Amino acid sequence: MAGSGALLRQCPLLLPQNRERTAYEGFVTAQGRDFHIRILLPMDFQLKNARIECSWHLKKILHGYQHILKQRLHSCPDLVSFMVELKTVLEIALKNTQDLHIPRPPEYYSCLVRDLEILGWNKVVYVDTGLTTVKLKAEDSCGRQHLVTLKLNAKYPTEPPDCLVDFPVQFAISWMPQNSLIDIYNQFLAALESLKEFWDAMDEIDGKTWVLEPENPTRSATSRRIAIGNNVSVNVEVDPRHPNMLPECYFLGADHVVNPLRIKLNNNMHLWDPEISLLQNLKDVLEIDFPSRAVLEKSDFAKDCGICYAYRLDGTTPDQVCDDPRCGQPYHRACLYEWLQGLPSSRQSFNVIFGECPYCNKPLTLKSSTKKL
Amino acid sequence: MQRASRLKRELSLLTTEPPPGITCWQNESQLDDLRAQILGGADTPYEKGIFNLEIVVPERYPFEPPKIRFLTPIYHPNIDSAGRICLDVLKLPPKGAWRPSLNISTLLTSIQLLMAEPNPDDPLMADISSEYKYNKQLFLLNAREWTEKYASQQKKVSKPLEEKINQSKTGTTNDSAVQKRKGSNICKKEKKSRLDS
């Protein structure tokens, strides 16, 4: 009896249909929606032999979750705990499919299209098929291209869309129900102008120095690791609101090179002039000129031995190649031999070594042609 | 024999394309003695710290892994008070996972990763490890304090500027070395102060 009480609390709309309590019919509720369901239990009340009948709606939502439900039927001790599990699964399934099941009101689409027309289609770079995501482009006064992604919810324009931007600072929009996309666009343009100085400073650094990190800085990246010399670099963390103030600086490199730089920074800190550019300030204060990007002669890496990183070794060339076509790593015979013969996992039979490719782990054989390896 | 060509290529790669937050250079143009710095990662207790490491490249490199240890004291479950690091890629098989497809750059990146994600189930420092497991708040506090105390560059700047370039083979020494650590069986050189500033 206690069991039926718990069931009633869990699913008040699911009622027993017979005295033996082997058949239940009613509704299961999730996210405020009721779904028709019928559960038929065998005489021994073994849940794993139960039969669940769903309305077509519920069936459609639970499609793809059958194996989970089947497993739950096997593991749950009684009907109450199964119903708890079923509701959890249903909640998840509803969350994952909601977008497909709830069409937006027609006013949403007409309003959005009207707003896009007012804004001008030339500013739109992308609209997804469901008309829920819109990407707009804008150019700031320095000719830099920027994008804003708008994720519109079904209550647009009563509720504002989520705006995703590539900014170093928060982009919060102010929104009234009578506003439209053009208001967001104008706020976006204003925000771009407020960050203009910051991007000017960063662009100058990216253009005139050798930035080691990040490789392809995004517009939101506020730090740069700038090369000063061989294996010496400075990491600057720029405040996007005050780009021309002294940034936070960390020096990386050997002490005997880095210490003089640090001393200079300390002694010349008072020379920092917010009126001139960040890069010029750094140059003045550190009394250095930043080197421009050095390009490593990219000798064909693919041809070199994967162990010694060279092409020629004692007059030999890498003539052993991993047989796996996806790897194909070349090695010098001598290098591969020396590595494989030291491994406990390699096996030698006469003059053939069986081992694994150091790069891809695929089996590999090596014939030792001469003894003097 | 393979060591020379390997190191030459590796060093030029480390100069032109260093991994994020990592610098590595030759110590006084000795081929087998390298120094490296790892910048403590954001959202770790090592944030804003600069950690110095010593890399000794053995004769048989790349058939044997380089020996890497921290010179800067670091509060970490897998790094002991001598700076030794418990990491499988730093050991030869069958115990370890070193292989010649790895290199100094990837090892330093692995160490950077270990700093961000300690492995308390394979501890070197039992106390720190249990602290990490059962009292994370205290661990974070201690690790941050050590970072502040030993690895912070801001503090070095404010110190009296008495740094001198020490050309001797033993490396940089400093009167204000707070703590001495011996890398007993890590490197066979004479002991030296662990703090190089």
- For A119-145, the pLDDT digits (tens) are 999 999 999 888 888 999 999 988 999
Query: For residue B21, is it left (φ>0), alpha (ψ between -120 and 50) or beta?
Result: left
Distance CA A112, CA A128 (A): 13
Q: Supply the DSSP symbol for B168.
A: S
Digit-coded pLDDT (tens) for A157-204: 888 888 999 999 999 888 888 888 889 999 999 999 999 999 999 999
pLDDT of residue A69: 87
Distance CA B37, CA A348 (A): 42
Question: Do A249 and A236 meet the contact criterion of CB atoms below 8 Å apart?
Answer: yes
Residues ≥6 apart with Cβ < 8 Å to A204: A277, A278, A279
Amino acid residing at A86: L
Question: Do A356 and A364 meet the contact criterion of CB atoms below 8 Å apart?
Answer: yes
Instruction: Mark yes or no for CB contact A254/B48 under 8 Å.
Output: no
Instruction: Mark yes or no for CB contact B9/A310 under 8 Å.
Output: yes
Amino acid residing at B74: I
pLDDT of residue A369: 63
Long-range (24+ apart) CB contacts under 8 A made by A97-102 are A97/A61, A99/A130, A99/A132, A101/A61, A102/A154
The answer on pLDDT for B170 being more than 70 is no
Distance CA B64, CA B91 (A): 8
Question: Do B152 and B144 meet the contact criterion of CB atoms below 8 Å apart?
Answer: no
pLDDT of residue B45: 95
Q: Which of B3, B11, B15, B33 to mutate to test the interface with A (most CBs of A within 10 A)?
A: B15
CATH number of the B2-158 domain: 3.10.110.10
Amino acid residing at B173: T
Question: Do A188 and A138 meet the contact criterion of CB atoms below 8 Å apart?
Answer: yes
Q: Confidence class of residue B59 from pLDDT cuts 50, 70 and 90?
A: very high
pLDDT of residue A370: 55
B77: closest CA of chain A, how far (Å): 25
A274 phi and psi angles, rounded to 5 deg = -65, -10
What is the number of other CB atoms lying within 10 angstroms of the CB of residue B51? 24
Query: For residue B134, is it left (φ>0), alpha (ψ between -120 and 50) or beta?
Result: alpha
Residues ≥6 apart with Cβ < 8 Å to A250: A234, A235, B39, B48, B50, B153
pLDDT of residue A56: 86
pLDDT of residue B180: 44
Distance CA A51, CA A241 (A): 64
Q: Does the bond joining A106 to the residue before it have cis omega, within 30 degrees of 0?
A: no
Sign of CA dihedral A210, A213, A216, A221: negative
Distance CA A211, CA A226 (A): 5
Distance CA A347, CA B155 (A): 55
Average pLDDT over residues B193-197: 45
Instruction: Mark yes or no for CB contact A231/B14 under 8 Å.
Output: yes
Q: Does the bond joining B120 to the residue before it have cis omega, within 30 degrees of 0?
A: no
A56 touches chain B (CB under 8 A): no
Instruction: Mark yes or no for CB contact B163/A235 under 8 Å.
Output: no
Which CATH class name applies to A301-367?
alpha beta
pLDDT of residue A323: 86
Residues A238, A243, A245, A246, Cα dihedral to 10°: 20
Residues ≥6 apart with Cβ < 8 Å to A310: A304, B2, B5, B6, B9
Instruction: Mark yes or no for CB contact B23/A231 under 8 Å.
Output: yes
pLDDT of residue B56: 95
Distance CA B134, CA A287 (A): 50
pLDDT of residue A301: 59
CB < 8 Å to B63, chain A: 307, 338-339, 342
Q: Does the bond joining A214 to the residue before it have cis omega, within 30 degrees of 0?
A: yes
A48 phi and psi angles, rounded to 5 deg = -65, -15
Comparing C-alpha atoms, which of A325, A335, A355, A331 is closest to residue A343? Answer: A355
Distance CA A139, CA B132 (A): 49
Distance CA B105, CA A52 (A): 58
CB < 8 Å to A212, chain B: 17-18
What average pLDDT does chain B have? 81
Q: By three-state DSSP, how is residue A361 classified? A: coil
Q: By three-state DSSP, how is residue A119 classified? A: helix
Of B1, B18, B37, which is closest to A212 when you measure between CB atoms?
B18
A326: closest CA of chain B, how far (Å): 16
Domain edges within chain B: 2-158
- Is ipTM over 0.85? no
Domains A205-286 and A301-367 share a fold: no
What is the number of other CB atoms lying within 10 angstroms of the CB of residue A240? 18
Q: Which of A230, A252, A331 to mutate to test the interface with B (most CBs of B within 10 A)?
A: A252
**Could you tell me the CA-to-CA distances from B193 to A109, B82, B171, B189 in Å, in that order?**
71, 11, 9, 12
Instruction: Mark yes or no for CB contact A213/B62 under 8 Å.
Output: no
pLDDT of residue A296: 55
Domain edges within chain A: 2-101, 106-194, 205-286, 301-367
Instruction: Mark yes or no for CB contact A214/B1 under 8 Å.
Output: no
pLDDT of residue B89: 95
Q: Does domain A205-286 sit in CATH 3.40.50.970?
A: no
A231 touches chain B (CB under 8 A): yes
Comparing C-alpha atoms, which of B90, B154, B158 is closest to residue B122? Answer: B90
CB < 8 Å to A213, chain B: 18, 20-21
B79 phi and psi angles, rounded to 5 deg = -130, 125
Residues ≥6 apart with Cβ < 8 Å to A298: none
In the sheet with A363-367, reading across from the earlier edge strand, the strands are: A347-349, A352-356, A363-367
Distance CA A122, CA A130 (A): 20
Instruction: Mark yes or no for CB contact B20/A262 under 8 Å.
Output: no
Q: For chain A, list residues with pLDDT below 70.
A: 1-3, 98-102, 294-302, 369-373
**Partners of residue A358 on adjacent β-strands:** none
Of B92, B93, B100, which is closest to A307 when you measure between CB atoms?
B100
Angle between helices B2-16 and B104-116 (to 10 degrees): 60
What is the number of other CB atoms lying within 10 angstroms of the CB of residue A252? 26
Residue positions of B annotated with a catalytic role: 86
Q: Confidence class of residue B192 from pLDDT cuts 50, 70 and 90?
A: very low
Query: Would you state the structure tokens that stand for residue B60, as one six-digit string?
Result: 């048989």
CATH number of the A106-194 domain: 3.10.110.10
pLDDT of residue A58: 87
Percent of chain B with pLDDT over 90: 61
Of B62, B156, B196, which is closest to A307 when you measure between CB atoms?
B62
Q: Which of A264, A307, A361 to mutate to test the interface with B (most CBs of B within 10 A)?
A: A307
Residues A80, A86, A91, A95, Cα dihedral to 10°: 180
**Partners of residue A163 on adjacent β-strands:** A150
**Chain B interface residues facing chain A, Cβ-Cβ under 8 Å?**
1-2, 5-6, 9-10, 12-18, 20-21, 23-25, 27, 35, 37, 39, 48, 50, 62-63, 92-94, 99-101, 153, 156-157, 161, 163, 165, 172, 196-197
The answer on pLDDT for B64 being more than 90 is yes
Give the count of alpha carbons within 13 A of B163, CB side only: 21
Query: Would you state the structure tokens that stand for residue B70, as one six-digit string?
Result: 């921290």
Distance CA B58, CA B101 (A): 16
